[in-house]
Each structure stands twice: as C-alpha cells, then as structure tokens.
Amino acid sequence: MLGDIDAMFDDDDDAEIVEFLEYERRPYIVREREDFFHSLDDIDFFVRFRLKKITVLYILSLIEEELESVTDSYY
C-alpha cells in the first residue's frame, strides 16, 4: 500500500512543493485613497463618475445613517 502512494509522487512534485513553500510574497502595502471629491473640479468629477457632486452629496445624505465604518482605515 505504501509503495502505491510513493509511486503517485515523483521528484517533480517534490520540487513544485518546495518551490511553493519557498515563494516569497510581495509585501502588503496599504495606500492612501485619493479624495476625488475634493481633488477633482466639477467637470473632471463628472467625467470620471458620471455624477455631479451635488448629486453625490444628495445620495450621501439619504444613506449616511446606513453607512458605518469598522475601522478608521480605508481598507
């Protein structure tokens, strides 16, 4: 029985496993989000989001009680 299991795996499988275990991930980077509402003028804001700023403010006023933040972070 043990011989059957050994026959299923070969050196290529071992090499793949070692390569997977030794793989170094890129460091996790948290970047600041850009505040488009304040950084874009009215025209650029509309071009990017297809909404006027006044419309966004109105929608926000309708839903702001439903919004909550788990943390103070952006992620």
Question: In angstroms, what CA-CA distances link 7 with 19, 20, 40, 62, 74?
Answer: 21, 21, 63, 65, 50
Q: How many domains does the chain fold into?
A: 1
Position 24 scores a pLDDT of 80
Which residue's entry shows tokens 């700023």? Answer: 53
The segment with the largest mean pLDDT, out of 32-36, 56-60, 61-65, is: 56-60
Position 33 scores a pLDDT of 87
Residue 51 included in any domain: yes
Residue 71 included in any domain: no
Look at residues 51, 22, 23 and name the one whose alpha carbon lies nearest to residue 36.
51
pTM of the model: 0.52
Q: Which residue type occupies 1?
A: M
Residue 53 included in any domain: yes
Residue 16 included in any domain: yes
Domain of residue 9 covers 2-66
**Is the pLDDT at 70 greater than 80, yes or no?**
no
**pLDDT tens digits along 3-56:** 555 555 556 677 787 787 777 878 888 888 899 999 999 999 999 999 999 999
Position 41 scores a pLDDT of 97
Residue 73 included in any domain: no
Residue 37 in contact with residue 56, Cβ under 8 Å?
yes
Residue 46 included in any domain: yes
Position 62 scores a pLDDT of 95
